[in-house]
Amino acid sequence: MAEPAISFQDVTRRYPQKAAAGDVVALQDIWLDVPQGAVTGIIGRSGAGKSTLLRMVNGLERPSSGKVIVNGHDVGAASDASLRAIRREVGMIFQHFNLLASRTVAENIALPLEIASEDPARIPARVGELIERVGLTAQASRYPAELSGGQKQRVGIARALATAPRVLLSDEATSALDPDTTRQVLELLQSINRELGLTILLITHEMGVVRDICSHVAVIEAGRIVEAGETYSVFSRPGHATTRSFLQGVTGVAVPHFVAGQLRDTPQDASAEAVVQVTFTGRHATDPMLARLTAERGVSVNILAGAIEEIGDKPFGSLIVGLPSGRLDESRRFLEEHGLMTEVLGYVG
Nearest alpha carbon to residue 12 among 56, 60, 47: 56
Residue 82 has, within 13 A of its CA and on its CB side, a CA count of 11
pLDDT (0 to 100) of residue 283: 66
Of 188, 212, 247, the residue that ends a domain is 247
* Total of domains in the chain: 2
Q: What residue numbers bound the domain in which 212 lies?
A: 6-247
In this predicted structure, what is the pLDDT of residue 343? 87
Which of 214, 247, 280 delimits the end of a domain? 247
CATH no. for residue 326?
3.30.70.260
Are 110 and 61 contained in the same domain? Answer: yes
Assess whether 108 and 179 both reside in one domain. Answer: yes
Tell me the helices (H) and strands (E) count for the chain, helix number first: 12, 14
DSSP string, 167-178: EEEEESTTTTS-
Residues 194 and 92 in one domain: yes
What does the alpha-carbon distance between residue 349 and residue 347 come to, in Å, rounded to a whole number?
A: 7
According to the model, what pLDDT value does residue 95 have? 86
Instruction: Let me know whether 214 and 291 are in one domain.
Output: no
- What is the structure's pLDDT at 306? 81
pTM: 0.83
Q: What is the mean pLDDT of the chain?
A: 90
Residue 252 lies in a domain: no
| Residues 332 and 234 reside in one and the same domain | no
Amino acid 302: pLDDT: 93
Separation of alpha carbons 100 and 94, rounded Å: 13
**191 shares its domain with 264:** no
Same domain, 264 and 222: no
| 185 and 297, same domain (yes or no) | no
In a domain, 1, yes or no: no
Q: Do residues 119 and 44 share a domain?
A: yes
Regarding whether 329 and 185 lie in a shared domain, the answer is: no
Are residues 266 and 222 part of one domain? Answer: no
What local confidence, expressed as pLDDT, does residue 307 receive?
Answer: 76
pLDDT by residue for the chain (349 residues), tens only, comes to 678 999 999 999 998 887 666 788 999 999 999 999 999 999 999 899 999 999 999 999 999 999 999 999 999 999 988 998 899 899 999 988 899 999 999 999 999 999 989 999 999 999 999 999 999 999 999 999 999 999 999 999 999 999 999 999 999 988 888 889 999 999 999 999 999 999 999 999 888 899 889 999 999 999 999 999 999 888 878 889 888 888 876 665 678 888 888 899 999 888 899 999 888 876 666 778 899 999 999 999 999 988 777 777 777 778 899 999 999 999 999 998 888 888 899 999 8
Say whether both 169 and 88 belong to one domain. yes
Q: What is the CATH number of the domain that holds 79?
A: 3.40.50.300
